[in-house]
Structures are given as structure tokens and as C-alpha cells.
Amino acid sequence: MEREFRRQDFYTGLILIALSCGLIAESWRMPRTLQGWPAYAGPGVVPGMLGLGLLIMALALALRSVQASGEPLQIGPRDVRAYLGDPGTRRFGLMLGFSALYCLLLGHGFPYWLTTGAYLTLTMFAFRAGAWWHILLVSATATAAITFAFGRIFAVPLP
């Protein structure tokens, strides 16, 4: 059982390493100066820091799985198929897909509140977070609070 967790940790670490490297690369491409503000206040700083943090944690996960005691971590095609067929891996992939779709739709003609509300609702329905009315209530409340806080209190232009 522990060997299976080591393998899952290794594959998940590799996926998260690739994802975090992409996040860091895309945050680097963002404008560094905006409205005359210094570079550390640019829009790519926070995503870059989050990507760096994710990269460090993904590296730690992958390295710990390799260095764990026990028999050597052997990886073959059968192991990859078993990993991809695991329900936890499917849930992980589904969440990555939802998040990627959400990021791709932001700022492309859809209002922020609609995209965010749909993302939260879809995610909670997919993972059976509660009764339908509870999911809709939480999604609507969170979307309204986020939109109000960033749009009115912090004066951050939302996509």
C-alpha cells in the first residue's frame, strides 16, 4: 500500500512541477510596470510567487517519494496505467481541467461574476459538495462577496 502511495506521489509531483513551471513562465510574460508602479507591484508577481511555492512543494513531494525507504521505486507502463485509472487521479485531472477552463474563460467576453459563479457551481456539483440549493447559495454568495470586495473595496479591475 505504501509503495502505491509513493508512486502516486511521484506522478502527482511531476504533473505539479510541469504546471508550476508553466505558471511561472506565464507570470514572467505579464507586464512588469503598470501605470507607473514599480515592478514588484506588477500583475505577474503574485502568480509567479504562487507558482514558485507550488514548484517547491511539488519538488519536495516527488523527491520524498523517490527517497522513501523500502523497495526501489520502479516505474513502468503498467504503473502509469494504474495511476491514470485511479479515481483520485481522475478527480485531480477533473479539477485541473475545471481550473484551466476557468482561467481560459476569464477576460474573454464573459463577465467575471458569471465565470466565477459557474466555476464554483460546476466544481461543487462535480464533487458533490452538498444539496443543490446549498451549492447555489454558496456559489452566489462567494461570487458576490469576491466581486464586491475586489471591485469596490480594493478597486482592482476584474477581468
What is d(CA 79, CA 87) in angstroms, rounded to the nearest whole number? 14
The helix/strand/coil state of 53 is helix
Q: Torsion over CA of 112, 31, 48 and 106, rounded to 10 degrees? A: 20
- What is the chain's mean pLDDT, rounded? 86
What is d(CA 39, CA 109) in angstroms, rounded to the nearest whole number? 28
Q: What is the pLDDT of residue 137?
A: 97
Nearest to 3 by CA among 81, 83, 57: 83
Domain ranges for the chain = 1-85, 87-159
Q: Quick one: pLDDT band at residue 66, thresholds 50, 70, 90?
A: confident
Find the mean pLDDT for residues 39-53.
82
- Please provide the distance, in angstroms rounded to a whole number, between the alpha carbons at the two ends of the chain: 45
What is d(CA 89, CA 39) in angstroms, rounded to the nearest whole number? 38
Q: What is the pLDDT of residue 109?
A: 83
Amino acid symbol at 100: A
Lowest mean pLDDT among 17-26, 40-49, 69-78, 147-156: 69-78
The per-residue pLDDT for range 107-155, each reduced to its tens digit, is 788 889 999 999 999 999 999 999 999 999 999 999 999 999 988 888 7
Express as a percent the part of the chain with pLDDT over 90: 43
pTM for this entry: 0.68
